[in-house]
Amino acid sequence: MRFTDMFTELVRAEIELWNGLDAQLNESAGISLPQFQALAAIRGIDGDARVQDISRAMSITVGATSKLVDRLERDGLAVRSANPGDRRSSFVSLSDSGAIALDTAATASEAHLRRVLGDVLPGEGADRLRGELAALRTAASERVAK
């Protein structure tokens, strides 16, 4: 097998899944997939979430994360507060509306992906694939950084 062919299939699968889930989240929760991922990252960070922490959690640039947080704040889904230990950064937290949207989107996301993928990756197949993808991501991250 050629790795380029495997990579192409992986990217195409991601695009198809992304587009379908993004449409579902817009319809059911009124937020986009990037907003959902950012809200989940904020909630998942122990302690105070900074833009840099959210960026790291999402594997996107700090600039893209900052713009995404700006949109979350504009839409009333997140709140920025001053970082008393560093005037150059701020903390980001979920607003009440953001927490509700995240909960709604998490339920819709799981239902959508279970419907789309459940019969293709039943039971342990999904767990195995998740583990393999995590290993690929870790290896790629380490090797690209060199």
pLDDT computed for residue 146 by the predictor: 59
Only one residue has tokens 């991601």, namely: 14
Residues 70 and 68: their CA atoms lie apart, in Å, by 5
Average pLDDT, the chain: 92
14, 59 contact by CB (below 8 A): no
What would you report as the CA-atom Rg of the chain, rounded to the nearest whole angstrom? Answer: 17
Question: By residue range, what is the domain housing residue 94?
Answer: 3-145
Asked if residue 76 has pLDDT above 80, the reply is yes
Count of structural domains, the chain = 1
Read off the CATH number of the domain in which 120 is found.
1.10.10.10
Tens digit of pLDDT for each residue in 88-102?
Answer: 888 999 999 999 999
CB of 68 within 8 A of CB of 34?
Answer: yes
Complete DSSP assignment for 54-65: HHHHHTS-HHHH
- For range 7-30, the mean pLDDT: 96
The DSSP secondary-structure symbol of 87 reads T
Which of the four pLDDT bands, split at 50, 70 and 90, describes residue 145?
low
- Of 135, 125, 115, the C-alpha closest to 21 is 115
What pTM, to 2 d.p., does this model score? 0.88
Mean pLDDT across 113-141:
89
Check pLDDT > 70 for residue 47: yes
User: Measured between alpha carbons, how far is 61 from 46 in angstroms, rounded to an integer?
Assistant: 20
